[in-house]
Structures are given as C-alpha cells and as structure tokens.
Amino acid sequence: MSSAISSREYLQRRSFIELDARTRAKSLFDSRTDRELAGPFDRIESPWLPLQGVTPQADDGCIVMRGTIGGRQAVVIAFDGAFQGGGIGEVSGAKLTSALDLACRDSQEGKPTSAVLLLETGGVRLQEANLGLAAVAEIISSIIALRQYAPVISVIAGPIGCFGGMSLAAGVSSYIVMTPEGRLGLNGPEVIEEESGVEEFDASDRSLIWSIYGGQQRYNQGLVDVLVDDDANQMIETVRDLIAQGIPEVHRSQQVDLYRSRITALDTSTQWDPAVVLWSAASLARPTGRDQRPTDDKKEHHQ
C-alpha cells in the first residue's frame, strides 16, 4: 500500500499528519455531519495541571466529534500530540471513555456507532499519574465493551506514535491503521535505555527505533491491519472502508494461541537483529535458516 508514487502525486497529495487534531477528526466525517462535543467552549480543563504551574488547555488535548462516516454513525476521538505529548490525563481520558460508552449504549439500542481513535500519545500524562493510569484501564474496558457491537478503529499516523498504556488500547481495537511515519510500542526507546541500559537499547539510534516501532515493520509483522501513506484522502477512504466492513470475526487480542505460539518459538539466547522481520510473509517466503523464525503462516490479520 505504501507503493512508490510519482513526484506529481506526491506534490498533489494532502498530508494527514500535518493537519492538527481537530482538522484530522473533522476530515473523516461526511461533509457537514460533524459536531464537536465537550469542546473548548465548554472549558472543562485539567484540574491538576494548574496546581503544578502547568497551563491547561480548554479541550485538554482531546477532541470528540460525532457525525456520519460513509453514511454510518461514528464518533471520532482525536488526541492533540502538541499538548502534553498527547498524554492521557483525567479529562482527556474521561472524554474517550465516555464517548466509547455512549457509542456502546447507542449500539446496544440498535443504532450501531463506530469509534475512531486518532492516537498521538506517549501514554499516561505523568502530571496526573494515577488518574491517567486509571483512565487507561477504563479506556481498555470500554473499547472491549463497544467492539462487540461496532468496530473500534485505532489510527496511529504521526511521529509521536502510540506508546505506554495506550498501546494496549490500540491492541484491543478491532483494527489498527498506521502510516510509515507512525510508531507503536509499549515502552519507548528512552524508557528502555533508562531502565535497562544503553546496551539493551540505544535511544539515539534512529534507524533501530524505526526498524522496531515503525508502521512498516508493525504491518509486516501482522500487528497492524492497514498501512497507508500520509495522505488525507487515503486515510478517509481507509477509515470509511473499515467502518463499512464492521466487526471482525475475531479480534487480534483474542487470539492467544496464535500469538503465544510465536513467542514460544523465539530463540532468546542472543539479542535480536531488528532488521529481521519476525513473522512477516516476506520472511516466510525467503527463509534464511534463523531459528527464531516461526513457521506459522496463517493470515491472522483482518484485512
């Protein structure tokens, strides 16, 4: 999907990543159907940041919009990576959970409402520590509740990526969409270097970082459903198609045996070369005799 494109196409395309969070959210809806809820004019700000001398933001870095996408009811929740690194605080976390719960209620009442999460987040906002962590636990629960009735789509487009507890939220989603510019992981490079040492992870090694967390790698591993270029039109079409596709037969995070068997098959006696694309269709087609390459070739993702 990220095939080479001509320079003309490149110049003509409209970047999705360069849009701010509110514009990204708005761009996904059918024209003039979008409406922002608990927006900046409601001024529900973090009660905890001012106590620490940090300026809050009127939307707490989280935008909730509802409307229709491809004629179907949907709610989009977009995180603003420019505010506190998209970190989950009490208010932004409650916005997401509450939107998911309302979509779930409508869906149970026969009005299926999909949720699209535009994730640009390093995880829990440390200035709200325990309430951020609690919010993430509630977000995970509410995604799992909603996805029985309507798909939950996580989009990881920009370079902030999706880390920390929110990587679990992406993990339990119905579908994950990434661009090659996006990154996905539980622990970021700096945290690993700090906790386990520079031999374990050199956080200044950009190519190492991208070869582990980057959208292309995650797609090749089958940990992501769709890889799209940074193109607003492609992103809109992708989201619309996934909503139309509905709930997958089985969610990725329900497939314990499949993913567990991959881990069991790995040789951990030496540090891994991240250039080796674990489990990819390509690596299965061109075996090099490395032990750590499992033989499971089931097509597990839902594309």
Partner 1 sequence: MSNFTGIRGRVWFKALTGQEKSMPGDLSSVLATDVSIGDENARFLCVVPDPDSRFPCARHGEVGLEQAYTLAARIREVIAADRSGKKRPIIAIVDVKSQAYGRREEIAGIHLAAAEAADAYATARFAGHPLITLIVGQAISGGFLTHGYQANRLLAFADDDVLIHAMHKEPAARITRRTVAQLEELAKSVTPLSYNIRDYAKLGLLYRLLPVSNLEAPSPEEISLVRNAIVEAIADTRKGPTDLRNRFESADAQIARKATRLIRARLAEQWNQ
CB of 17 to partner 1, least distance (A): 21
Which lies closer to partner 1 via its Cβ, residue 80 or residue 229?
80
3-state secondary structure of 135: helix
| β pairing state of 62-69 and 72-79 | antiparallel
Which lies closer to partner 1 via its Cβ, residue 173 or residue 234?
173
Which residues neighbour 203 within 8 Å (Cβ) at sequence distance 6 or greater?
A: 188, 189, 190, 192, 193, 209
Q: What's the burial of 175, exposed, middle or buried (CB within 10 Å: 0-12/13-18/19+)?
A: buried
C-alpha 298/C-alpha 4 separation (Å) is: 28
Which lies closer to partner 1 via its Cβ, residue 38 or residue 118?
38
How many C-beta atoms surround the C-beta of residue 254 within 10 A?
11
Which lies closer to partner 1 via its Cβ, residue 16 or residue 48?
48
Counting DSSP H helices and E strands in the chain, the numbers are 11, 7
CB of 127 to partner 1, least distance (A): 6
CB of 12 to partner 1, least distance (A): 35
CB of 125 to partner 1, least distance (A): 9
CB of 271 to partner 1, least distance (A): 7
Task: Please name which of 159, 219, 209 lies closest in space to residue 188, comparing C-alpha atoms.
Answer: 209
Which lies closer to partner 1 via its Cβ, residue 167 or residue 216?
167
